Structure 1
Amino acid sequence: MSVSVPPRLVVSAVFVASMFMNIMDATVVNVALPTLSRHFAVPVASVSGVVSAYLVTLAVAMPASGWIGDRFGARRVMLVAIGLFTAASALCGVATSLPELIAFRAVQGFGGGLLIPVGMAMLFRTFPPAERIRANRLLIVPTLMAPALGPVIGGLLVDGLSWRWIFYINLPVGVAALVFGALFMPGGSEHRPGRFDLPGFLLAGFGFPLFMFGLSTGASSGWGSPSVLGTGVAGALLLVLFVLVELRVGEPMLRLRIYSDRLFRVTNLQLTFAGAGFVGTLFLVPLFLQNGLGFSALHSGLSTFPEALGGMAGVQVTTRLYKRVGPRRLMVAGMCGTVVTIAGMGFAGPGDAAWLIPVLMFCTGCSFGFAMSPSQAAGMATVSAAQTGQASTLLNTLRQAGGAAGVALLATVLGATRPGPVDLAGYRMAFAAAACLMAFGVLFSALVHDADAAPTMADGPGDLGGQPVPEAA
């Protein structure tokens, strides 16, 4: 007798598990870099290739993911991406040299670059607009939990077992998601992607990695260094050319004209600045606690973890208010909350940081979840099902760049001010910069028109067991 599993439950479970694995992997690896440096007997600067290789291939795959998902079917691409990411994780765990590890991380990045945009497109196609605020209860889980859990789990694995386990931990999650998806994930209609845009792919394939590399290494290598200037400027010029080409060709790889949709454009900008401030804060707080105040790595990780609990609480509240209040006021309130709490972290000191930072991280997570859930639910309200794959790719590509820019900005502030255990002024300036990024999120939240998001505010069946819309996969 065949087992029938509700399609929405299958898509939700596979996507959340895959996204959690993908996001946590990035934060876990950062904790292990000093250990990898000692294991392979190379300088810390050399093991940065383990991170940059992942980011480069992620940046290559992500812009093309919308076309690939439409061309070969989102279900098929999602399963291949999960298999690729999981297999690469296993290979990273058995790597015997640093070049091997970097190569396997590059494969992992390619799988990760396909996972999130294609999976998000499936999720939004599975849930009709009226149910998307409920879907965001699921979507927000990996976004908030994985970055908070990564440093804690990474520290425990590296100290208690081996650096190899930061990759092995992906295997049970990946295998379970792959098997469950292969057995129960529904098929669906494929959307005509048009001809493959080779010029656009080449421009994006070189432009995004070069720009992201320059952005992510500028603070550590110096913004005036030849490598940063060369890669950053070259990447920016290629991306400008990419935009010009994409606006002229009949069948572009990225349909940038989707940004003419007011609601999609404004929510994307809000998500980009909010993501920059959020990821930048998650980067800043451990440095402040460990280097500035002398906390241990585990104590630091436990101090940031309340952010995830706050995020879960914020999502529960905003989900219940959304259809009565609309997205704009919820987004503005949530973003204002993040401005206040992140700015407040700059006033923490040796005498109160042990309790004040966890409290403010909880409040930051609560405010961030309060703002992000309605933003993500409303963002694609006016995007057609056929363009959902492209819209998801645009959203995730811009958000990835925003996160990298947030980290680069705060790292630059720290590099310029050189704060230490005695002088915490540089950290205070960095927290102020993160709060300013969130303030831009407030501005774009205020530009949202609730009437544009009306389809997501209609009454719907509200359960995970309903049938998907025709374009589910």
Structure 2
Amino acid sequence: MSADAAPPAERVDRGLLRIAFILVLGTFMATIDATIVSVGIDTLADEFGAGVAEVQWISTAYLLAVVAAVPASGWLADRFGGRRTWLAAVGVFLLGSALCALAWSATSLTVFRVLQGLGGGLLPATGQALLARVAGPGRTGRVISIVAVVPLLSPVLGPLAGGSLLAVAPWPWLFLVNLPIGAAAVVLARRHVPDIPPSDRRTAFDLRGALLLSPGLAVLVLGLTEAAHGRTLPSALAVAAGLAMLAAFTVHGLRTRRTPLVDPRLFARPPFGAAALALLVLGASVFGTTFLLPLYFQTGRALSPWEAGLLLAPQGLGAAAGSVLVNRTIDKTVPRTLAVSGIALIVAGTLPFTWLGHGLPDAAVASALVVRGVGMAMVGAPVMNIVYSRTEPQHLPRASGALNLLNTVGGSVGTAALAVVLQNRLAARGPDISRAFADTFWWVLGFCLLAAAGATRLPRTHVRKS
């Protein structure tokens, strides 16, 4: 067999699909909750008599907690086992959801959102690592291509679900809707998901690294968020402090004799470094766009949250179609080919939005979003498959944690950075809102090109099956 020949595909049986469905419920709850609340910000502001800036912390606190939690996912899975860690994360998320529904003020809701975000940040990474461990290298690509579509759908489904709930129920149901889903996930996981034992190699928790990495990321995202609101001095101080803590963590990770929370050396090892760059920048592009478009639809076109969510639906349809395509071809096509082709489609689907100032019709918006959705589905699963299938089983939790951290950080930092760009362009363009958004989408295209640079460094050969 030549280096580029496709290895024989292993069968994905019903049992593995059932496990994938169960674990993806956790990812679905965590990712959709980040967007489902966004359409309720005005409702929550009226309910608690709070200003928009204060209520905005309800979303920001969740995001910061997710960013802070992801780095610890690998150590927790190593120490307590994959299934146990995943079940505990679901429990924390559900507790946070129940408390959010009982909140009596904007401040209490913000605190409970932090608890919810800590559980939500652990779910995607631990779920993916557990699924890759159960599937084995020969089936990882196909099964990951199925579950990877969920984070792509949630930014589309979240606003629709939030708008629908608020149309028929009071605001606590934005959080109570998680309880039956989470309860079903726990019952099914205890019955059907195998109990992966903890790692034989017990390592002490990297407390110093945790005190540098998680707060550093959170403070960096906070600083960029402050910049988007025009608060220059607090923003500059927070960004500088965040970068300083991340630099200190890198030095610590290279020097420590213990296992660091996230090993900086991973990023110098192929194919992890190229995969990391692709996912980091792609996260900025994908999640940045799902921030920009709903805002444009509501401010530039005066659409309701429901109408804005409906106009985003074609991206979800494209992602679903792309997931089917990847599932059928991932074992026959070199992963780098899929990833680079996917980024090319994202570029093609993003380019029309640089013409928003010229009255882009709804049909063109919908078509572009379908193309973007297909491209998004063609990138994440192949890149993760490359890493997971070339990683020893005992190292999967930490590799999954690192990849999910990069995707999360890319999405949050990219969104915050694009908010800053948009704020500047709105100030420069004045009343011409459409052209300000069009200017900002050129930055999204730049992110796509950086992701392409990372994807072209992925391996030229098929993933080796063991």
1:107 matched to 2:115? The reply is yes
Partners in 1 of 2:357 and 2:228 — Cα distance? 25
Structural mapping, 1:247-258, within 5 Å: 247-251=254-258, 252-258=260-266
Q: What residue is the counterpart of 1:434 in the other structure?
A: 444
- SS of residue paired to 2:389: coil
Structure 2 portions without partners, runs of 5+? 1-12
Structural mapping, 1:153-168, within 5 Å: 153-168=161-176
Partners in 2 of 1:193 and 1:390 — Cα distance? 13
Structural mapping, 1:286-435, within 5 Å: 286-348=294-356, 352-418=360-426, 422-435=432-445
**What code does the residue aligned with 2:368 have?**
L
Structural mapping, 1:23-42, within 5 Å: 23-42=31-50
Q: What residue is the counterpart of 2:4 in the other structure?
A: none
**What code does the residue aligned with 1:85 have?**
F
Structure 1 position 183, deviation (Å): 2.3
**What code does the residue aligned with 2:347 have?**
V
Partners in 2 of 1:234 and 1:28 — Cα distance? 31
- SS of residue paired to 1:424: helix
Partners in 2 of 1:423 and 1:11 — Cα distance? 46
Structure 1 position 150, deviation (Å): 0.4
Provide the TM-score with structure 2 as the length reference. Answer: 0.92
1:14 matched to 2:14? The reply is no
Q: What residue is the counterpart of 2:3 in the other structure?
A: none
Change (3 A) 1:341 1:420: farther
Q: Are the aligned partners of 1:340 and 1:435 in contact in 2 as well (CA < 8 Å)?
A: no
Q: Are the aligned partners of 1:280 and 1:434 in contact in 2 as well (CA < 8 Å)?
A: yes
Q: What residue is the counterpart of 1:188 in the other structure?
A: 196
Decide which moves more: 110-119 or 249-258.
Answer: 249-258
Q: What residue is the counterpart of 2:5 in the other structure?
A: none
Structure 1 position 69, deviation (Å): 1.2
Change (3 A) 1:150 1:423: closer
**What code does the residue aligned with 1:208 have?**
L
The CA deviation string for residues 103-160 of structure 1, in whole angstroms up to 9 with x for no partner, is 2111101111221211111011111222122112322231121111001111122233
Decide which moves more: 23-32 or 440-449.
Answer: 440-449
Change (3 A) 1:440 1:205: closer
Q: Are the aligned partners of 1:348 and 1:357 in contact in 2 as well (CA < 8 Å)?
A: no
Provide the TM-score with structure 1 as the length reference. Answer: 0.91
Q: What residue is the counterpart of 1:462 in the other structure?
A: none
Partners in 1 of 2:304 and 2:362 — Cα distance? 12
Partners in 1 of 2:358 and 2:168 — Cα distance? 29
Structure 1 position 420, deviation (Å): 6.6
Partners in 2 of 1:86 and 1:268 — Cα distance? 30
Q: Are the aligned partners of 2:335 and 2:382 in contact in 1 as well (CA < 8 Å)?
A: yes
The CA deviation string for residues 263-315 of structure 1, in whole angstroms up to 9 with x for no partner, is 11111111111111010111111122221122222111101111111011112
Partners in 2 of 1:428 and 1:348 — Cα distance? 5
2:238 corresponds, among 231, 235, 239, to 231
Q: What residue is the counterpart of 2:228 in the other structure?
A: 219
Q: Are the aligned partners of 1:67 and 1:193 in contact in 2 as well (CA < 8 Å)?
A: no
Decide which moves more: 362-371 or 21-30.
Answer: 362-371
The CA deviation string for residues 211-252 of structure 1, in whole angstroms up to 9 with x for no partner, is 221123321234x22x22222211110111011111111222
Q: Are the aligned partners of 1:294 and 1:421 in contact in 2 as well (CA < 8 Å)?
A: no
The CA deviation string for residues 330-366 of structure 1, in whole angstroms up to 9 with x for no partner, is 2111101111210112224685532221111111101
**What code does the residue aligned with 1:220 have?**
H
Structure 1 position 262, deviation (Å): 0.7
Decide which moves more: 317-326 or 302-311.
Answer: 317-326
| Paired residues, number | 450
Q: Percent identity?
A: 32
Partners in 1 of 2:268 and 2:355 — Cα distance? 41
Structure 1 position 427, deviation (Å): 1.1
1:284 corresponds, among 269, 281, 292, to 292
1:240 corresponds, among 244, 247, 259, to 247
Structure 1 position 255, deviation (Å): 2.2
Q: Are the aligned partners of 2:221 and 2:416 in contact in 1 as well (CA < 8 Å)?
A: no
1:78 matched to 2:52? The reply is no
Decide which moves more: 81-90 or 57-66.
Answer: 57-66
**What code does the residue aligned with 2:300 have?**
G
**What code does the residue aligned with 2:452 have?**
V
Structure 1 portions without partners, runs of 5+? 459-473
**What code does the residue aligned with 2:125 have?**
P
1:445 corresponds, among 455, 460, 465, to 455
Q: What residue is the counterpart of 2:209 in the other structure?
A: 200
Structure 1 position 15, deviation (Å): 1.7
Structure 1 position 10, deviation (Å): 4.5
**What code does the residue aligned with 1:217 have?**
E
**What code does the residue aligned with 2:443 have?**
A
Partners in 1 of 2:238 and 2:206 — Cα distance? 24
Partners in 2 of 1:442 and 1:234 — Cα distance? 30
Q: Are the aligned partners of 2:23 and 2:189 in contact in 1 as well (CA < 8 Å)?
A: no
Change (3 A) 1:349 1:210: closer
Partners in 1 of 2:35 and 2:77 — Cα distance? 27
